[in-house]
Amino acid sequence: MSSLPHPALSESRITGAARLAGVIGWPVTHSRSPALHNHWLARYGLDGAYVPLPVAPGRLAEALSGLRACGFRGVNITLPHKEAAFALCDSLDDSARGAGAANTLVFTEDGRIHGLCTDGTGFLDNLRAHGVDPLAGPALILGAGGSARAIAAGLLGLGVPVTIANRTPERAEALCAALPGLARLDWADWAAALGRFALLVNTTSAGMGGTPALTPDLAAAADSLTVADIVYVPRLTPFLAAAEARGLRCVGGLGMLLHQARGGFSAWFGIDPVVDDALAALVGADIPER
């Protein structure tokens, strides 16, 4: 595997020896991954293609078998297949085990499926790209879904103290049981406890699909608090707008999407790609600011 500097954009080329990968979901029309990966393929002048792969629920195992038979190098996995993909892997790396999910599958030469979860590393790389040190201090994560688990596992792996708060306490308790070392706050108490934390991360679905947005009370936050949101539509979510109004450093979710794609691209196409302004402009061209 090689890592290249920012080369000039070159023409992509497809031959009979092209390396193939894609994204599986149902639906998959909304995915920004094809634009992202094909931009990299063109940038590096690689012989390959990355395609959307609509696969109905219940047909994932059949689809993966067919893709391996057709010579695909691997796939990304999105809803509703993440749990099924995790169960179908022959081997898992530490990121997938910690997250309890596999969003990136690599088809090995011996016909096996190796699973990774790049959400945690994508989140951490996005923090660093914004000049934020993940080791700056304790982190508080709002939410207890798959993204919360992946991010918590990534931070815990670095030795960062991590606490979660979730509206449904049973889900928070289940996540704490799955990740030793993870602490829990009652939902009603997290805003008042903000002074203890260096990083606040919103992984809840509030504001998505027409649901009311989460606008945090940041009065107790230290001026050094960094506030991150994994949602990237819009770029400045109400959660981040509240942090910006308070004068706090903000980290949006688009960079996490871009950085989490690097692991799969590296495994399938042999190059560690660059996340730069050109890529962000392409993938986020139609994303409103607010």
Can you say which residues are annotated as belonging to the binding site? 31-33, 78, 94, 103, 119, 143-147, 166-171, 230, 232, 253, 260
Average pLDDT over residues 102-124: 96
The residue from 37, 73, 82, 149 that is catalytic is 82
State pLDDT tens for residues 55-107. 999 999 999 999 999 999 999 999 899 889 999 999 999 999 999 999 999 99
Task: For 46-76, give one letter per residue: b (16+ CB within 10 A) or e.
Answer: bebbbeebebeeeebeebbeebbeeebbbbb
- pLDDT above 90 (res 5): no
Can you say which residues are annotated as belonging to the binding site for shikimate? 31-33, 78, 103, 119, 232, 260
Average pLDDT over residues 191-220: 86
The answer to whether the beta carbons of residues 286 and 98 sit under 8 Å apart is no
3 state SS of 88: helix
174 is annotated as an active-site residue: no
The answer to whether the beta carbons of residues 283 and 18 sit under 8 Å apart is no
> Residue 149 belongs to what H/E stretch?
helix 146-157
Both tokens of residue 58? Answer: 């219940």
The answer to whether the beta carbons of residues 166 and 142 sit under 8 Å apart is yes
State pLDDT tens for residues 258-289. 999 999 999 999 999 999 999 999 999 999 98
pLDDT for the residue 260: 97
The answer to whether the beta carbons of residues 12 and 22 sit under 8 Å apart is no
Can you say which residues are annotated as belonging to the binding site for NADP(+)? 94, 143-147, 166-171, 230, 253
Among the listed residues 4, 90, 78, the one whose alpha carbon sits nearest the alpha carbon of residue 270? 4
Average pLDDT over residues 152-169: 97
Average pLDDT over residues 126-147: 97
Instruction: Determine the longest span between alpha carbons in the chain, in angstroms.
Output: 60
CA dihedral 121, 266, 105, 281 (to 10 degrees): 70
Domains identified in the chain and CATH numbers: 2-118+261-283 (3.40.50.10860), 133-255 (3.40.50.720)
